[in-house]
Amino acid sequence: MWVKEKHDVLCKYVQISSATRKKYLPPKNRGGAAYIDLFCGTGRGQIEGTKEWIDGGAVAAWKRSVECNTPFTRVIVGDANRDRLEACEERLRRLDAPVVATCGLAKDTAFWARQRTPPHGLNFAFLDPFSLEALDYEAIKSLAQIKRIDMLVHVSTMDLQRNLKLNLTAEDSAFDSFAPGWRDVLEIRSKARTREDLLTYWRELVSKTGIWTSEDVRLIKGSRGQRLYWLLLAAGHDLAHRFWKSVAPKDGQASLNL
């Protein structure tokens, strides 16, 4: 059920930010509002171990924006797999979403997405990669150049825990794309401290782009209670972080805990 929890958090943020988004929408304003998802998948998925099917992130976010009467004026989707991308694009078109799509890795499609966001609008990106390596810093750096951008980011704690030793010693490490330059600054200590130091360094990298990451996070767990990933917000203004602060906590889990 962790996928449903993730999408619930996504949709809550789309909803809580709807009053602000409305200020950028016609008829009062033509600035516009884009939704960006560079790991969109097929737009639909089956809950593991069940017969239940649910909407993917891009489809769920679009539907919630429509329900709030503040629909995104552009839905920008990408995926490295063309078949998945085309399936998602078709589902969005059937819902009359103003969708544009491109195939490729997020680090390569982020600039393309940036060019298609309304320059005077309010924009929101959902970065939901399948691994820590896929969360390429270059994609975040590129999207952060959009004038008004909030990003809901999935950071894999499972990768940090299970694959820490491998990534610390591998010549081609997932950390190279996630937090470039880590080899020059990271002191190898205990596993917990090393993970903490890596994340601190990553946060510092993100802050250099002009946005900053939230201290408040949502820890998403699997069906057996295993820690899967964190959801956190990266944005450059206090209002977005206040919105996130009301969405993120669950069961007292309101801060990053390694």
* Domain range list for the chain: 2-156+211-247
Secondary structure E strands in the chain = 34-37, 44-46, 53-55, 74-79, 99-103, 123-127, 149-156, 212-221, 227-235
The pTM of the full predicted model, rounded to 2 decimals, is 0.94
Query: What pLDDT, on the 0 to 100 scale, is given for residue 227?
Result: 82
Residue 223 above 60 pLDDT? Answer: yes
Residue 46 above 80 pLDDT? Answer: no
Q: How far apart are the first and last CA of the chain?
A: 23
> Could you read off the pLDDT of 51-76 as tens digits, one per residue?
788 899 999 999 999 999 999 999 99
Give the Cα-Cα-Cα angle 195, 197, 202 (nearest 5 degrees).
95
Lowest-confidence pick of 92-101, 163-172, 174-183, 247-256: 247-256
For the residues 101-125, what does the mean pLDDT come to? 97
CATH architecture type of domain 2-156+211-247: 3-Layer(aba) Sandwich (3.40)
User: Is 37 within 8 Å of 113 (Cβ atoms)?
Assistant: no
Query: What pLDDT, on the 0 to 100 scale, is given for residue 245?
Result: 94
Higher pLDDT among residues 198 and 46, named by residue: 198
DSSP state of 187: P
pLDDT tier at 254 (50, 70, 90 boundaries)? Answer: very low
For the residues 148-163, what does the mean pLDDT come to? 90
Query: What pLDDT, on the 0 to 100 scale, is given for residue 51?
Result: 79
Query: What pLDDT, on the 0 to 100 scale, is given for residue 3?
Result: 82
Higher pLDDT among residues 152 and 50, named by residue: 152
Secondary structure E strands in 12-148 = 34-37, 44-46, 53-55, 74-79, 99-103, 123-127
Query: What is the percent of the chain where pLDDT is above 90?
Result: 71
pLDDT tier at 1 (50, 70, 90 boundaries)? Answer: low
User: Is 27 within 8 Å of 247 (Cβ atoms)?
Assistant: no
Query: What pLDDT, on the 0 to 100 scale, is given for residue 136?
Result: 97
